[in-house]
C-alpha cells in the first residue's frame, strides 16, 4: 500500500492553488494562495526547479514525491483538529514496551529514551553514528518489534510500503517528523497507531525563509506546533 498513490488518485493536486514553492537542501515547502503551508524533507534528493504539472508527476521519482507530500501537507495539515499537541514521548508510554525500533535518527527523542533507560534499536541509512545498528539488521528487528517509531520520510523515499509490512500485525507503528502526512488514510494500515507531525500558522514566512536558507528541523521548530492524530479505537491501549 502506497498512501501517497492512494491520495494522489483520490485527491489529484490542484497546483493552481500554489503561491510559492520553496526549495532548500534539507526541506521543500509549498505555500498556498490562502496562506496554508506544508513541508517535506528532501532526503538528499535534488529538488525540482519548478512546480510540477499533473502530466509530469512520476511517483517513482523521489523528488516528485517530496513536492507532492509538501503540497498535501499544506492542503490537509493546516486545518486539522489534532488529538493532542504533544510530542510522541510525552503522549505514548514506552516503558515495558518490549522491543522498540526507531527508523530515522531522532536525536532529541533518543536522548529522552536514554535518560529513562529505555532500550531501543535505531536505524538510519543517511547517518553515521555509533548509536546506530547495522542497517542490514533492520528487517529482522522489524519482524520482532513491538513498537516502531518510523520517520515519515519513508513515504517520500518510497520505502514505506516495504517496511510497514514487516512488523507483526499486533505491532504498533508511529509515524514521526515534520513530513508526516496528517490524513486518516494513513490508518488504512492497521499497524499504524499514531501520526506525529507539525503544523504552521498561515503565511509563516519565517519558516519559509529558514527552509530557503537550508535550515533544518531544529531551526524552524520554535515557529511550529507539534500535533498528532491517533487511531481512535486504540487510544486507551497505547
pLDDT digits (tens, 9 = 90+) for 1-46: 799 999 999 999 999 999 999 999 999 999 999 999 999 999 888 8
The predicted structure's pLDDT at residue 238:
35
Average the pLDDT over 144-154 and give the result: 96
Is there a contact between 67 and 61 (Cβ–Cβ < 8 Å)?
Answer: no
88 vs 132: CA distance, rounded Å: 20
The predicted structure's pLDDT at residue 237:
34
Q: Are strands 225-230 and 27-32 parallel, antiparallel or unpaired?
A: unpaired
pTM for this prediction: 0.91
The predicted structure's pLDDT at residue 84:
62
Indicate whether 224 pLDDT > 90.
yes
The predicted structure's pLDDT at residue 82:
67
The predicted structure's pLDDT at residue 55:
85
- Residue 116, exposed/middle/buried by CB under 10 A (0-12, 13-18, 19+)? exposed
Indicate whether 223 pLDDT > 70.
yes
The predicted structure's pLDDT at residue 86:
65
Indicate whether 199 pLDDT > 80.
yes
Q: What is the mean pLDDT of the chain?
A: 90
pLDDT in tens, 57-102: 999 999 999 999 999 999 998 777 767 666 787 778 888 778 999 9
The predicted structure's pLDDT at residue 234:
41
Q: Judge: domain 88-201+219-232, CATH 3.40.50.11590.
A: yes
**Range(s) within the chain of domains with CATH label 3.40.50.11590:** 88-201+219-232
Indicate whether 166 pLDDT > 80.
yes
Is there a contact between 196 and 189 (Cβ–Cβ < 8 Å)?
Answer: no
Q: Where is pLDDT greater, at 44 or 134? A: 134
Percent of the chain with pLDDT over 90: 76
Amino acid at each position: 500500500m502506497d498512501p501517497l498513490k492512494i491520495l494522489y488518485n483520490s485527491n489529484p493536486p490542484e497546483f493552481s492553488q500554489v503561491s510559492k514553492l520553496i526549495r532548500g537542501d534539507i526541506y521543500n515547502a509549498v505555500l498556498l494562495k490562502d496562506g496554508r503551508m506544508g513541508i517535506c524533507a528532501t532526503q538528499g534528493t535534488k529538488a525540482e526547479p519548478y512546480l510540477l504539472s499533473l502530466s509530469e508527476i512520476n511517483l517513482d521519482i523521489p523528488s516528485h514525491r517530496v513536492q507532492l507530500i509538501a503540497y498535501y501537507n499544506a492542503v490537509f495539515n493546516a486545518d486539522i483538529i489534532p488529538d493532542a499537541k504533544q510530542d510522541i514521548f510525552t503522549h505514548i508510554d514506552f516503558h515495558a514496551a518490549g522491543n522498540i525500533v526507531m527508523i530515522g535518527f531522532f536525536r532529541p527523542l533518543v536522548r529522552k529514551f536514554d535518560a529513562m533507560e529505555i532500550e531501543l534499536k535505531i536505524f538510519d541509512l543517511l547517518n553515521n553514528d555509533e548509536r546506530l545498528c547495522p542497517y542490514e539488521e533492520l528487517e529482522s528487528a522489524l519482524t520482532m518489534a513491538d513498537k516502531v517509531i518510523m520517520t515519515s520520510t519513508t513515504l517520500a523515499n518510497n520505502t514505506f510500503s516495504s517496511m510497514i509490512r514487516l512488523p507483526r500485525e499486533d505491532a504498533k507503528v508511529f509515524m514521526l517528523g515534520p513530513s508526516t502526512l496528517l490524513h486518516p488514510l494513513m490508518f488504512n494500515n492497521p499497524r499504524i497507531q499514531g501520526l506525529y507531525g507539525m503544523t504552521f500558522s498561515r503565511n509563516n514566512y519565517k519558516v519559509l525563509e529558514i527552509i530557503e536558507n537550508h535550515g533544518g528541523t531544529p531551526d524552524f521548530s520554535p515557529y511550529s506546533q507539534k500535533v498528532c492524530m491517533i487511531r481512535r479505537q486504540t487510544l486507551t491501549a497505547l
